[in-house]
């Protein structure tokens, strides 16, 4: 993967601190720590995840990092605090003013204006469950919907409503009725991304995304 334009070598400290959190090692791609750091830095988690793997490589730069911080977490925390103050991590709007930032991945994690309990990421997970149910079971009382609601902190009623919209998007159901719902645009976007693709790929992605909520 090519170097990201917003990557700074000082960010190795942030990755090292995350790497050292128990259980020590490379964190899952969509773990909460990885996603939160990517949103803070405006750098996709895929890039940070690949960078984190490099912490296991034996290079002069990585070796110096480990020699300096491996047994000194207080110094690492202090230097990270200084880094955040210097480069504006705590004030992203000011720091990135005038910088062209591709926020496509960030928008996936932002609450929907029409339904704050949902995000595009949550809709992706809901779509995966949609393909595992039949239309008659896409109701708030279905155990799988209740369990998913607990995981992603969204009411079963809202999940069932999203599935109703996915039914409208599903060409195999051939729904011709007019649907008026504020969720239509967001659900349509997720359907266009994944609805006509490989369900196994969606299943794998959904399971990876669920890690963020655990």
Judge whether 28 lies within some domain: yes
Which pLDDT score is estimated for 94? 45
Judge whether 77 lies within some domain: yes
Are 17 and 40 contained in the same domain?
yes
Are 51 and 122 contained in the same domain?
no
Judge whether 1 lies within some domain: no
Are 54 and 147 contained in the same domain?
no
Are 158 and 184 contained in the same domain?
yes
Answer with the one of 73, 102, 131 that is the final residue of a domain: 102
How far apart (Å, rounded) are the C-alpha atoms in residues 179 and 145? 22
Judge whether 151 lies within some domain: yes
Choice among 38-42, 141-145, 149-153 with the minimum mean pLDDT: 38-42
Tell which wins on pLDDT, 204 or 88: 204
Answer with the one of 80, 102, 124 that is the final residue of a domain: 102
Count of domains for the chain:
2
Judge whether 3 lies within some domain: no
Judge whether 98 lies within some domain: yes
Please state, in angstroms and as integers, the Cα–Cα distance from residue 81 to each residue in 90, 106, 129, 193, 203, following that order: 10, 23, 41, 38, 38
- pLDDT tens digits for range 77-126: 999 999 988 765 544 444 445 444 556 799 999 999 999 999 999 999 99
Judge whether 128 lies within some domain: yes
Sign (positive/negative) of CA torsion 184, 190, 193, 198?
A: negative
Are 117 and 140 contained in the same domain?
yes
Answer with the one of 102, 127, 156 that is the final residue of a domain: 102
Which pLDDT score is estimated for 3? 76
Judge whether 27 lies within some domain: yes
Are 66 and 43 contained in the same domain?
yes
Model confidence at 36, pLDDT cuts 50, 70, 90, reads very high
Model confidence at 180, pLDDT cuts 50, 70, 90, reads confident
Range of the domain at 128: 108-213
Choice among 57-71, 184-198, 200-214 with the minimum mean pLDDT: 57-71
How far apart (Å, rounded) are the C-alpha atoms in residues 165 and 168? 5
- Quote the pTM value: 0.88
Which pLDDT score is estimated for 103? 60
DSSP string, 44-78: -HHHHHHHHHGGGS--HHHHHHHHHHTT-HHHHHH
Cis peptide bond prior to 22, omega within 30° of 0: no
Confirm if 29 and 49 have CB atoms less than 8 A apart.
yes
């Amino acid at each position: 993967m090519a170097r990201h334009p917003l990557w700074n070598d000082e960010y190795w400290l942030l990755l090292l601190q995350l790497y050292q959190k128990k259980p020590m090692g490379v964190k899952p791609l969509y773990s909460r720590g990885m996603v939160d750091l990517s949103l803070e830095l405006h750098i996709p988690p895929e890039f940070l995840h690949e960078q984190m793997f490099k912490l296991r490589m034996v290079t002069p730069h990585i070796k110096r990092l480990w020699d300096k911080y491996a047994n000194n977490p207080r110094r690492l925390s202090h230097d990270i605090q200084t880094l955040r103050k210097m480069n504006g991590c705590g004030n992203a709007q000011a720091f990135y003013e005038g910088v062209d930032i591709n926020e496509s991945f960030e928008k996936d994690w932002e609450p929907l204006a029409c339904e704050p309990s949902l995000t595009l990421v949550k809709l992706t997970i809901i779509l995966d469950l949609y393909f595992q149910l039949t239309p008659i079971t896409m109701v708030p009382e279905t155990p799988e919907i209740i369990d998913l609601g607990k995981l992603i902190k969204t009411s079963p009623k809202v999940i069932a409503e999203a599935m109703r919209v996915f039914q409208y998007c599903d060409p195999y159901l051939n729904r011709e009725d007019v649907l008026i719902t504020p969720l239509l645009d967001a659900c349509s976007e997720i359907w266009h991304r994944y609805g006509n693709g490989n369900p196994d790929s969606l299943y794998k992605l959904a399971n990876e995304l669920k890690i963020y909520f655990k």
